Structure 1
């Protein structure tokens, strides 16, 4: 009895900062279980300062990328499901990579124009309706009331806020402007708040990319096929601005590919209806002067039709990732490709368990068109939704 009392006293004397340091090294799923251990641990884990510390630690030791895809009945939209996987990065000698299956989200349909983007640990699924935000580390998701034709996902690192930007119809909207709605989570708020603003008219058609507190997407302004631009949304101040862009960056409309390249916005330009054996890399060198640079690269081998291949971005080594947009109809391997711009070589890596697991396909009836969305540089977070 005395020994048990002494052990309890010793445990209670562990400094709080040491307890927090120990907890930051644990997987997110373990922390979710530890919420029930004690009120003190629950208070520590839910504290915003600890959430931020955990993300900072995860960004150095637990950097991953996420893989999502949808499948379901062609005749029943409600039968569609979103599958969320993740995988850690491999070294350059690896030819295959194990994946971890996290969760499914019901009634979510992703098309070729949809995307699931990881921004500061939370994944925003850009489908037509509704807009889904999920945290694969905690297996939680929420549905946002975004009813616009386009929804973009961003994060403000200064205010520590997540924001969803969507274009909305408005009965009193003037012809010379668009009405946008912003839904905000974070900054001490426990629920989503809503705000609206207007912008000059523009025709939007590409997926977005969030970089250092700014969301970028391609558009024509003021009308279709006139004046190609990159729209820049300042997440913190909720302001839109336009960056002049070369015609090649946006001319393929839905086939335009925006990525983050060494901290800058870049675009992969290639012909979507020809063999994918070369591409132009356009880099936005200066946001203020709208200065772009261009480099042309030739692949060691063709990746097939350009329309069937996309680029989710780069890994930490700066290699550009290329990946098929769809899973195979049968249980066949799914490969991604890493192109090294310095050595000008390319390697192929097989993702295990995504498309080649027959038991998984049978269990969840994986069939038909399954569009894949990969988000590189995903970092585990325990942020609440």
Structure 2
């Protein structure tokens, strides 16, 4: 009970808000407010930081309509003063860039603005004094054990021979890098990051001689499964996108969109790894949007729950949104005001699946 002092020294006793009702109210608040409310009391701090409340908050925020969040990573902080876009918030995450290296991965939570730099991967490949080393990191979630994991693939390209190592990091207090074995008769390097669906990380991987394959990594059991890519898919791996479509992994092949106006959508069915094909024909009134586009430089960055994929060119200040359901292409301009004398390289990521306020701890 809470007592309030009235003017005549009388006390008015107000009933306390039931704890379950307080939790219900807190799940409706913005993540930014919750980060401030951790200072109210130890009880609130423990509640908001608990895994139970984090999961509940994510479930509630995922069920209600969310504005589309578009996050752009710029190659230079100087561009922040020269770019603007309607309905876009430009945030600067301060930090020393020298903390990041080839061996280290960084996790960033847009909801809490928290950044976590993981320990360096102790790969044998890094010890070799040769060039052409590559590192790819994938973020996945195991819904059974409610664990978040990082899959790190270290690849060495030496004299037309690929060597690869696979490492896994569990994002939790006391987490560490653990090397896992994968019987790969012909090592491949990842070419396209894909989604994590129902506890499985999907990505495209290629070799020097063979066509791309889809690698499926089970986050819970830390095991791989390999699926052959349809032979009709373009051999230019960097000109295709690997996305989530209708809750399934899919390949979006847009290599002929400028030439013929046709794109191919290949959806991986869950019954045995078969592929279904859908052809998308660009509307004639929108053909001019890709007439001057160099397809070899066009990159697909991400897709959202509204089935729109983002296409972008390097050193340009606009994005192309392709709606795979309505078969509609639109252009979004990012205004440039007195830009610095350097190229603009951006990495785009969509966030529209609800906010997660889980604290990042290792």
1:212 aligned residue? 198
Aligned pairs for 1:48-59 within 5 A: 48-59=51-62
Which of 58, 64, 68 lines up with 2:68 in the alignment? 64
Change (3 A) 1:63 1:240: farther
- Give the corresponding residue for 1:114: none
Instruction: Give matches, 1:97-136, under 5 Å.
Output: 98-106=87-95, 128-136=102-110
**Within the alignment, does 1:356 sit opposite 2:335 as a pair?**
yes
CA distance in 2, matches of 1:131, 1:316: 26
Structure 2 match to 1:197: 180
Tell me the CA shift for residue 267 of structure 1: 0.6
| Shift of residue 167, structure 1, vs aligned partner | 2.4
Q: Is the 8 A contact 1:259 1:311 kept in 2?
A: no
Are 1:214 and 1:234, in contact at CA under 8 Å, matched by a contact in 2? yes
Q: 2:323 aligns with which of 323, 328, 339?
A: 339
TM-score, with length taken from structure 1? 0.73
2 CA distance for matches of 1:276 and 1:184?
Answer: 46
Structural RMSD (CA): 3.4
2:38 to 23, 35, 39: 35
> Is 2:290 the counterpart of 1:286?
no
* Counterparts of 1:346 and 1:176, CA distance in 2: 39
Q: Is the 8 A contact 2:155 2:162 kept in 1?
A: no
1:179 aligns with one of 157, 165, 175: 165
TM-score, structure 2 normalization = 0.77
Kindly indicate whether the alpha-carbon contact (under 8 Å) linking 1:309 and 1:323 is maintained by their aligned counterparts in 2: yes
Establish whether residue 25 from structure 1 lines up as the match of residue 28 from structure 2.
Answer: yes
Separation in 2 of the partners of 1:266 and 1:161?
25
Residue aligning to 2:298:
309
In structure 1, the residue matched to 2:124 is none
How many residues were matched structurally?
324
Q: Give the direction of change, closer, same or farther, for the CA distance of 1:38–1:381 in structure 2 (3 Å limit).
A: same
Give distance in 2, aligned partners of 1:107 and 1:142. Answer: 13
Counterparts of 2:193 and 2:169, CA distance in 1: 16
CA gap of 1:159–1:327, structure 2 versus 1, over 3 A, is farther
1:277 offset after TM fit, Å? 3.1
| Displacement of 1:377 | 2.8
Maintained 8 Å contact 1:181/1:197: yes
Asked if the contact 1:228–1:244 (Cα under 8 Å) also holds between the matched residues in 2, the reply is yes
Q: CA deviation at 1:138?
A: 1.2
2:228 counterpart (241, 244, 263): 244
Report if aligned partners of 2:309, 2:324 keep a CA contact under 8 Å in 1. no
CA shift, 1:254, in A, is 2.9
3-state SS of 2:335 partner:
coil
Work out whether residues 163 and 182 of structure 1, in 8 Å CA contact, stay in contact via their aligned partners in 2. yes
SS of residue matched to 2:280: strand
Deviation for aligned residue 1:248: 4.0
Of 292, 310, 323, 1:322 maps to: 310
Deviations along 1:227-284, whole A, 9 cap, x unmatched?
5311100011110111111134462123331000111111111328955832111111
Q: Which of structure 1's runs of 4+ aligned residues deviate more than 6 A?
A: 80-83
Tell me by how many angstroms 1:103 deviates.
Answer: 3.5
Deviation at 1:178, TM superposition (A): 4.6
Q: Structure 2 unaligned runs (5+)?
A: 122-133
Distance in 2 separating the partners of 1:63 and 1:262: 19
Q: What is the rounded CA distance, in whole Å, between the counterparts of 2:74 and 2:190 in structure 1?
A: 21
Q: Which string of whole-angstrom CA distances, capped at 9 and with x for unpartnered residues, describes residues 80-136 of structure 1?
A: 7998xxxxxxxxxxxx85022343254559xxxxxxxxxxxxxxx9x9553211011
* Cα 1:149–1:287 shift into 2, 3 Å: farther
Contact 2:302–2:348 (8 Å) recurs in 1: no
> Residue in 2 aligned with 1:16?
19
Is contact 2:238-2:299 (8 Å) kept?
Answer: no
Counterpart selection for 1:153 from 126, 135, 139 = 139
For residue 138 of structure 1, give the secondary structure of its aligned residue in structure 2. coil
- Distance in 2, Cα, partners of 1:313 & 1:16: 40
- 1:163 aligned to 146, 149, 152, which one? 149
Note the residue ranges of structure 1 that are not aligned, 5 or more in a row: 73-79, 84-95, 110-124
